[in-house]
A and B are shown apart, each in its own frame.
Chain A
Amino acid sequence: AQKVTQAQTEISVVEKEDVTLDCVYETRDTTYYLFWYKQPPSGELVFLIRRNSFDEQNEISGRYSWNFQKSTSSFNFTITASQVVDSAVYFCALSEANYGGSQGNLIFGKGTKLSVKP
């Protein structure tokens, strides 16, 4: 069963629009971490945020914000006033305490490709 689901394969918006990228996860662990990474066209993944399972506070960093809701097993990412430079593939990932006997291994969703048009 897929543990991290990013149902939106591609999203296209016009610059300055707000956009939300969805992430739904599945785990039996009580201790886990969630991550978001950005992959620009150059290919290198860039770490954006880490959130642990005990901290449901929303986080804001500039135009980026994240909404973590354990009740719905979701960790959504919103970009406010999108810019062309935000165009990239965004990955949500889960790290479980007891995944395959190996802590720390990331389980990635398939990614959402965001295109921001001028």
Chain B
Amino acid sequence: DGGITQSPKYLFRKEGQNVTLSCEQNLNHDAMYWYRQDPGQGLRLIYYSQIVNDFQKGDIAEGYSVSREKKESFPLTVTSAQKNPTAFYLCASSIGAGVAYEQYFGPGTRLTVT
């Protein structure tokens, strides 16, 4: 089945630790995205990548880092510099980077930092 996988579904970390969230897609999509969702809020864009080896900051990139070494993979690292890392993180992909393309989402990772 084609789709987007995110692992793990729940993640717990101690404050001050970096943590990497996995996102893999087998849809052969060029573009990939990371969003953050807080309770009662819409999704906010953290980073996006339109093509392999290239990525751009979204609206709330501070405290996060990404890499795009393979078309299928777009891992997100939540660093200790992120002040409020506890949130629900969603990865998405689209066929291309353009205004017309719908994005398909993974199941999300719920990160709790204490």
A residues at B contact (CB < 8 Å): 4, 9, 31-33, 35, 37, 42-47, 50, 52, 91, 95-97, 102-106, 108-111
Contact = CB atoms under 8 A, between A and B. Distances in A.
Contacts of A102: 48, 56, 97
B42 A104 contact: no
Contacts of B33: 105
Contacts of B94: 104
A109 B41 CA distance: 8
Given A43-B107, A44-B107, A110-B42, 9 more contacts: A42-B107, A44-B90, A47-B105, A95-B100, A96-B99, A102-B56, A104-B100, A105-B45, A110-B41
Given A43-B88, A44-B107, A103-B97, A108 B102 contact: no
A21 to B, nearest CB: 14
B97 A106 contact: no
Contacts of B45: 105-106
A31 B96 CA distance: 17
A45 B41 contact: no
Contact of A44 (B43, B97, B99, B105): B105
A31 B40 CA distance: 29
A103 B56 contact: no
A32 B42 CA distance: 19
Contact of B100 (A43, A45, A50, A111): A50
A111 B42 contact: yes
A109 to B, nearest CB: 6
A45 B30 CA distance: 19
A1 B92 CA distance: 25
B31 interface: yes
B106 A33 contact: no
10 contacts: A32-B99, A35-B102, A37-B105, A47-B102, A47-B104, A52-B100, A95-B100, A104-B96, A110-B40, A110-B42
Contacts of A97: 99
A104 B105 contact: no
B48 A105 contact: yes
Contacts of B102: 35, 47, 50
B75 interface: no
